[in-house]
Amino acid sequence: MLNYDRLVFEQSVKGRKGYSLLNNTYPSKYQMADLGAKLRLKTVPLPELSELDVVRHYTLLSQKNFGVETGFYPLGSCTMKYNPKINEELAALPGFTRIHPLHYPSSIEGTLKIYRYLSEMLSEIVGMDAFTLNPFAGAHGELTGLMIMKQYHLNRQDFKRTKVIVPDAAHGTNPASSAVAGMDIIEIPSTASGLVDIEQLKAVLNDDVAGMMLTNPNTLGIFDRNICEICRLVHEAGGLMYYDGANLNALLGQARPGDMGFDIVHVNLHKTFSTPHGGGGPGSGPVGVKKKLAHLLPGPQVKETDGFCYIETSAESIGRVSGFFGNTLVWIRAYAYILTLGKENIKRVGELATINANYVKESLKDDYLLPIEGPCMHECVFDGLLDKSTNVTTLDIAKRLLDFGYHAPTIYFPLLFHQSIMIEPTETESKQTLDDFIAVMKTVAKEAKEHPDIVKEAPHATLVSRIDEVYAAKKMILTYQDLLEENAKINEVK
Amino acid sequence: MFKYFPHTENDLFAMKAKIGIRNTADLFRDIPENVAFRRDYDIPSAMSEIELRKHLEALAAENKTPIVFSGMGAYDHYNPAIIAQLVNREEFLTAYTPYQPEVAQGTLQYIFEFQSMVAMLSGMEVANASMYDGATATAEAMFMGLAIAKRNKFLVSATVSPFVLDVIKTYAHFRGVEIVMVPMKDGVIDRDELLALIGDDIAGLIVQKPNFYGIIEDYTGIADQLHAKKAILIENNDISTLAVLKTPSDDGADIACGDCQSLGMPLAFGGPYLGYMATKKAYARKLPGRIVGQSFDKNGKRAYVLTLQAREQHIRREKANSNICSNQSLMALYATIYLALMGPDGLKEVNEMAYSGAHYLYDELLKTGKFFVAFEQPFLKEFVVKTSLPPDLIRHALDEAGMFAAVVIDETASGMQMLLNFAVTEKRTKKEIDCLVAVLGGLSC
Amino acid sequence: MSKVVEGLYYAQSHEWLKVEGNIGIIGVSDFAQAQLGSIVFVDLPEVGIQVTKEVEFGAVESVKAASDLLSPISGVVIENNQAVIDDPELINKDAFANWLIKVEIANPSEIDQLLSAADYRSISK
């Protein structure tokens, strides 16, 4: 395949036009030029292209990308399941896309009802009492949840509680979110299987603890059977329990965070609830809480009385974390997804995802190092190759997989193992897909032993290979303008 | 069998055999009995696609889709048809974050193009790969300002949108940052009050242009006053207007931020929109979120890659300035395609038409004698007027006529006043405006 | 095996200190630069800034990590190394020849709390 390597600016030709607007006939006295000195002096150097030029350019760019529909995406903790197309169609209905966020509530009952219904369904699924759909992403949901935690204690006049306990196996957003919410972290070391070390936990429980952030199953795909004890201990110490919903897929049909003792939960609609990742967003990170925290949820809030929905934010709300109601068209997709699954099918998601992960685990344990014995849940972790004698790293393996048409699994996370490979084969992947993947993983392991160079120098079949990240960080060519300057410098030297 | 679950009985049998279990329940033994969820979720039964369509279409039909005559951060601009087609290509739609750059050059390149276009519009030197929305982008800009100035107090103009202000205040409250409001005078920032407030303890000032009332404020000299005290200027803009207005860079701003919704994105009841942040090269490392840089691969081919990641949450963890992990990537693609289509001329036309339409509406409303000047200030596409007509009467009449305009209850130094907000875009016609004027002009208390 | 130079003092956080009279010259160890990988950026304090023992005074950044620099001793910055600011990879080339900052030492007794080359060698294996 040809490597299409043009920037849209490099396709620009002066005078080309790609749009058509109305011919409005307002009285001629109204001229924008009257703004005089308020106007910018130089025209914006945006590119000029015809409509077809634009279509071709972005179509060719898309062909340089790998999506879930192109192939298997075994990224651990990302839950890259199928993104149903019916959800795309429904979220694009004009009745949903044409409404202004400040429209009169009585004229937007449809969308407000979806807000309420989805909130109720999510509450039922995770065992909470109330939800906000306003946070834009998982990390944003975490921040919101932690703000609720902090405000809860402030309202009780308990000003000492400024610390959040986070296991060292946690995702980087956990400590970062705590910091942004104005709290300090207490990192506790995990056990060898990445589980919470109860003794370490007891040692840090104090009256300065606001709460604890956990995901269960943990980042290794292992369910912590001590979860009720952990929640009890933290509650007894006066703290709240926060559930990071990144791994919720494993629990659908098996358990609910609310029943384990969690007080605050965030879910990732772009993971568990099938909304598309979009190359990095827009996602959606709704936050659910137990009744005693419901009044703290961020505004604006959607309430319902006698079947009629309206917008009313409680006085004790922590305030807005978003301009309006979050990524509306994303949560509409999630609503459609949950209805498509229905109560009959949603309860099978966890079990099928878990069977898939365990099947992959059993099939690869003769070639890759399994650091932890026993069954996993929806994802499994290997610590690199079993045979590391040729010094082939996890990075090399990941790059070689690209040659076979797979997206690499999550690598170097969790930090507990030096050569982590985290594989999450969601419930929408068939046995055939997994068998093909397993065969390729075995092939790569064999290559690592017999022809290590082919793995170390991978990928060979992609359009570009092993990009120089040091150059990127040093040169800092971050815009087309930078690129032009850099080229000018190079030409000068010549 | 269910259409999203490919497992047949044979598949499951073979897989369980390989795993070495007889029952699936064996895989969940770690879940304590008192926590195991054994019943059905109390949610509706599975819907076929046929039923789902009916259900959602019925809900969509409960929403009224009037002609939109308001703004306040969400504008009804022209939405080019090809954008949805391109953005929905599965290679863009279903891709993950570009952590494996070799298979994500599409995503990485459009982000690079987006960064470039934001820099062009704002006049700044570097932009990031986008933020969630304009309001959170402004709050994050404030955090960035705190890190640059190493102080803990921020000034915010009273003419900033209350929705943006609410988010700023929420974020500030939890970080222990003190927010001080700079009062408004005649619809613009009170310069005398501002001067009195700029001290050695201030990290910076946040302003908005056009401001919440649609007014194009004159910020000449403010950046110098702030810089003299080693404080910074943050300017929030509606990015579409930057195609024609003096840029934040022209105003001496250190950080530019705002929302890209006005680049033809659907109103969509508030989201997904698209926040942006741009700044000077010297502050590039302090920008939160993702940034794409250009580089070469091992064979010398030009390629794009996520860079400056050492600042980000997954590496710096609790020391990161921000916790942002994803961005609004697909909306950045949306904006990039829109800007590639419209080009400088298209955006100029959009703003010119909006200007003419808004000023025409303004004069016609005043002529009715039911609406009065709120502020004698220059505006582009959005303005407010005073009226003594009751808000419910206005809402009802507009609703009946299939139109929408927002009522704003404004708290000022002299008490509360009711204002009507109007925004006219290039999508509005003279006929629609005349109709609106007729409806409103015909009302009486 | 990373290089450890005799005659220098070391901090647990992998900074080294060379003492010349009442001036302290500070850099990061070979072990540190190897851990970081190619260094792309150094953030150093301006002349006149006070540094405090075990408190962050700057940062060193590679593609995969950003590490805070903690001062081994307290004092006032009298010089920072412009050559390293312009070309951070010098640290990777020779972590001991390429110092980061020079400080006027405030409290010489703090030097006693640092590690010797031998002690540092044993913790940085």
| Shortest alpha-carbon distance between residue B119 and chain A (Å) | 8
Residue A373 pLDDT > 90: no
**pLDDT exceeds 70 at position B88:** yes
* Structure-token pair, residue B160: 């900033």
Question: pLDDT band at B303, cuts 50/70/90?
Answer: very high
Chain C 24-83, residues with CB within 8 Å of chain B CB atoms:
40-41, 43, 61-66, 68
Quote the percentage of chain B above a pLDDT of 70: 96
Which comes out higher in pLDDT, residue B312 or A74? A74
pLDDT recorded at residue B416: 64
Residues of chain B with CATH 3.40.640.10: 81-337
A172-176, A470-474, B320-324, C111-115: range with lowest mean pLDDT: B320-324
Tell me the pLDDT tens digit for each residue of B325-383. 777 999 999 999 999 999 999 999 999 999 999 999 999 999 999 999 999 999 999 99
Contact C95, C27 (CB under 8 A): yes
Per-residue pLDDT of A403-430, as tens digits, reads 999 999 999 888 888 999 999 999 999 9
Chain segment B211-235, per-residue pLDDT in tens: 999 999 999 999 999 999 999 999 9
Q: What is the DSSP string of A37-76?
A: GGB-SSPP------HHHHHHHHHHHHTTB--TTTS---BT
Q: Residue B121 has what pLDDT? A: 98
Cβ distance B310 to C65 less than 8 Å, yes or no, reads: yes
Residue C7 Rama label (left phi>0; alpha psi -120 to 50; beta): left
Architecture of domain A349-456: Alpha-Beta Complex (3.90)
Smallest Cβ distance to B80: which of A19, A177, A351? A19
Per DSSP, the residues of A468-487 read -HHHHHHH---SHHHHHHHH
The β-bridge partners of B276 are B258
Local confidence band at B412 (pLDDT 50, 70, 90 cut-offs): low
Q: Chain A within 8 Å of C41 (Cβ-Cβ)? A: yes
Residue C1 has a pLDDT of 66
Residues 140-159 (B) with a CB less than 8 A from some CB of A = 143
Residues A208-241: tens digit of each pLDDT:
999 999 999 998 889 999 999 999 999 999 999 9
* Cα–Cα distance measured from residue A107 to residue A112, given in angstroms and rounded to the nearest whole number: 10
Say whether residue A302 is in contact with chain B using an 8 A CB cutoff.
no
Inter-chain contact C62–B311, Cβ cutoff 8 Å?
no
pLDDT of residue A427: 97
Rounded Cα–Cα distance for residues A163 and A150 (Å): 9
> Is B81-337 CATH 3.30.70.920?
no
Q: Give A-chain residues touching B337 at CB under 8 angstroms.
A: 54, 58
Structure tokens at A28: 């001629």
C66 touches chain A (CB under 8 A): no
Confidence of residue C67 (pLDDT cuts 50, 70, 90): confident
Per-residue pLDDT band at C123 (split at 50, 70, 90):
confident
* Confidence bin at B308 (pLDDT 50/70/90): confident
What's the confidence (pLDDT) of residue A69?
A: 83
Report the alpha-carbon distance of residue B161 to residue B159 in Å, rounded: 6
Is pLDDT at C43 greater than 60 in this prediction? yes
Work out how many CB contacts closer than 8 A connect A with C: 12
Contact B316 C61 (CB under 8 A): no
pLDDT(A114) > 80? yes
Cβ contacts of C40 on chain A, cutoff 8 Å: 470, 473-474
Alpha carbon of A379: minimum distance to chain B alpha carbons (Å): 12
Name the residue in chain A with its Cα closest to that of B135.
Answer: A323
Best CA proximity match to A195, nearest among A174, A165, A216: A216
Q: Which residues of A touch B169 (CB under 8 A)?
A: 319
* Structure tokens given for A282: 């827009």
Tell me how close the Cα of B39 comes to any Cα of chain C, in angstroms.
Answer: 46
Amino acid A171: pLDDT: 74
Share of chain C above pLDDT 90, in %: 66
Residue B300 phi, psi (nearest 5): 80, 10
Specify the pLDDT at position A234: 98
| Chain CA centroid to CA B293, Å | 24
Residue B324: pLDDT above 80?
A: no
Give pLDDT, residue B417: 75
Residue A108 has pLDDT above 70, yes or no: yes
A237 to A67, A210, C31: CA distances (angstroms): 46, 9, 42
pLDDT, average across residues B178-185: 96
Is pLDDT of B432 > 90? yes
Q: B121 CB near a chain A CB, below 8 Å? A: yes
What letter does residue B363 receive in the DSSP assignment? H
Distance (Å) from the alpha carbon of C41 to chain B's nearest alpha carbon: 10
Structural domains of chain C, with CATH: 14-110 (2.40.50.100)
- Minimal C-alpha gap between A389 and chain B (Å): 25
Nearest to B60 by CA among A301, A119, A112: A112
Beta-carbon separation of B315 and C66 below 8 A: yes
| Interchain proximity A44–B90, CB inside 8 Å | no
> Are B313 and A176 inside 8 Å of each other by CB?
yes
Q: Tokens 């369904």 map to which residue?
A: A121
Render pLDDT for A249-273 as a digit per residue (tens, 0 to 9). 999 999 999 999 999 999 999 999 9
- Res A169: pLDDT: 77
Q: How far is A254 from chain B (nearest CA, A)?
A: 5
| B43-55 confidence digits (pLDDT tens) | 999 999 999 999 9
Beta-carbon contacts of B342 under 8 Å, excluding residues fewer than 6 positions away, are A18, A19, A46, B80, B350
- Chain A residues close to C92, C-beta within 8 Å: none
Please tell me the number of Cα atoms within 13 Å of A144 on its side-chain side: 36
pLDDT at position B315 is 59
Superfamily, domain B67-75+343-441: Aspartate Aminotransferase, domain 1 (3.90.1150.10)
Instruction: Note whether A266 and B317 are within 8 A (CB).
Output: no
Contacts with B310 from chain C: Cβ below 8 Å: 40-41, 61-66
Whether C68 and B311 lie within 8 Å, measured CB to CB:
no
Residues 215-274 of B with CB under 8 A from A: 216, 218, 242-247, 250, 259, 266-273
Dihedral of the CA atoms A170, A171, A176, A179 (nearest 10)?
A: -20
Cβ separation B316–C66 shorter than 8 A: yes
pLDDT value of residue B314: 59
Task: Identify the chains in contact with C, defined as 3+ C-beta pairs within 8 A.
Answer: A, B
Report how far residue A106's alpha carbon sits from residue A224's, in angstroms, rounded to the nearest whole number: 46
Q: What percent of chain A has pLDDT over 70?
A: 100
Higher pLDDT, residue B409 or A354: A354
Grouping H, G, I as helix, E, B as strand and the rest as coil, residue B433 is helix
Orientation angle between helical segments A138-155 and A173-180, nearest 10 degrees: 40
Share the mean pLDDT of chain A. 95
Q: What is the CATH number of domain A99-346?
A: 3.40.640.10
**How confident is the prediction for chain B on average, in pLDDT?**
94
pLDDT band at B30 (very low <50, low <70, confident <90, very high): very high
Contacts of B85 in chain A (CB under 8 A): 55
Interface with chain A: mutation pick from B115, B116, B126, highest number of A CBs within 10 Å: B116
The residue of chain C nearest to residue A468, with distances taken between CA atoms, is C63
- Å from A322 to nearest chain C CA? 30
The mean-pLDDT minimum among A289-298, A420-429, B313-322, C88-97 falls in: B313-322
CA distance linking residue A446 with residue A474, whole number of Å: 37
Give chain A positions within 8 Å (CB) of C63: 469-470, 473
Q: What does the pLDDT look like over A199-217, one tens digit per residue? A: 999 999 999 999 999 999 9
User: E-assigned strands of A237-353?
Assistant: 240-244, 264-266, 287-289, 302-305, 308-311
Domain extents in chain A: 99-346, 349-456
pLDDT band at A303 (very low <50, low <70, confident <90, very high): very high
* Interface probe with C: pick from A470, A477, A478, most Cβ of C within 10 Å: A470
Specify the pLDDT at position A424. Answer: 96
- Of the candidates B336, B444, B344, which has an alpha carbon nearest to the alpha carbon of residue B118? B336
Contact between B285 and C41 using a beta-carbon 8 Å cutoff: yes
Q: B309, B321, B322: which to substitute to probe chain C, counting the most C Cβ within 10 Å?
A: B309
Q: In what order do the strands lie in the sheet with C75-80?
A: C9-10, C15-20, C23-28, C101-105, C75-80, C50-51
